[in-house]
Amino acid sequence: MTSDEQTTETAEVLPAEVRTGLERVTHSVLVDTRALEAVRRRFDEEQASTLGRYLSAAQSANTLRAYRSDWIAFTAWCLAERRRSLPADPVDVAVYLAAAADAVREGDPGRWALSPATLERKAAAIAAVHGANGLASPTRADVVRMTLRGIRRSRRAQPDRKRPVLLHTLEALLAERPAPGHPTGVARRRDALLLLTGFAGALRRSELAGLGFDDIAVESDPRTGEPLLVVRLAATKTDQEARHAQQVALPRGRRAGTCPVCAFADWADLVEAHRDGGAEGVRAFLAHDEEPAAARPHRCHRYAGTGLADGTGRPLFPSVSRHGAISARAMSGRAVAELVKRYAERAGLDPKAFSGHSLRSGFATQAALGGASDREIMRQGRWTNSRTVHGYIRTANPLEDNAVTRLGI
CB–CB of 300/262 below 8 Å?
yes
Average pLDDT over residues 385-392: 77
Residue 85, phi then psi, degrees to nearest 5 = -90, -25
CATH of domain 3-154: 1.10.150.130
CB–CB of 148/98 below 8 Å?
no
Q: Does the pLDDT value for residue 220 go beyond 60?
A: yes
Exposure of 279 by Cβ count < 10 A (0-12 exposed, 13-18 middle, 19+ buried)?
Answer: middle
Lowest mean pLDDT among 197-206, 272-281, 397-406: 397-406
Identify the H or E element spanning 112. strand 108-112
Q: What percent of the chain has pLDDT above 90? A: 45
Residue 181, phi then psi, degrees to nearest 5 = 95, 180
Cα–Cα distance, 46 to 172 (Å, whole number): 54
Cα–Cα distance, 233 to 171 (Å, whole number): 26
Confidence class for position 122, pLDDT limits 50, 70, 90: very high
Domain boundaries, the chain: 3-154, 167-359
Average pLDDT over residues 45-66: 69
Q: Does the pLDDT value for residue 354 go beyond 70?
A: yes
Burial annotation 92-101 (CB, 10 A radius, 16+ → b, else e): bbbbbbeebb
| Domain range 167-359, its CATH number among 1.10.10, 2.60.60, 1.10.443, 3.40.50 | 1.10.443
Q: What is the pLDDT of residues 262-321, one digit of tens each?
A: 999 999 999 999 999 999 999 999 998 877 666 678 888 888 888 999 999 999 999 999
Confidence class for position 41, pLDDT limits 50, 70, 90: low
Q: Which residue has the higher pLDDT, 397 or 176?
A: 176
Instruction: Compute and round to an integer the Cα radius of gyration of the chain.
Output: 25
Q: What is the pLDDT of residues 71-104, one digit of tens each?
A: 988 998 998 889 999 899 999 999 999 998 888 7
Residue 387 vs residues 313, 358, 374, 378, 390: alpha-carbon distances, Å: 36, 18, 10, 10, 5
Average pLDDT, the chain: 82
CB–CB of 6/69 below 8 Å?
yes
Average pLDDT over residues 198-207: 93
Most confident of 3-12, 229-238, 337-346, 392-401: 337-346
* pLDDT for residue 347: 95
Q: Does the pLDDT value for residue 5 go beyond 50?
A: no
First to last CA, the chain: 46
Residue 386 vs residues 117, 255, 318, 389, 399: alpha-carbon distances, Å: 22, 31, 34, 5, 18
* pLDDT for residue 80: 87
Confidence class for position 168, pLDDT limits 50, 70, 90: very high
* pLDDT for residue 201: 94
Confidence class for position 25, pLDDT limits 50, 70, 90: very low
Q: Which residue has the higher pLDDT, 271 or 157?
A: 271
Confidence class for position 29, pLDDT limits 50, 70, 90: low
Cα–Cα distance, 119 to 139 (Å, whole number): 12
* pLDDT for residue 141: 94
Q: In 3-state terms, what secondary structure has residue 152? A: helix
Identity (one letter) of the amino acid at 184? T
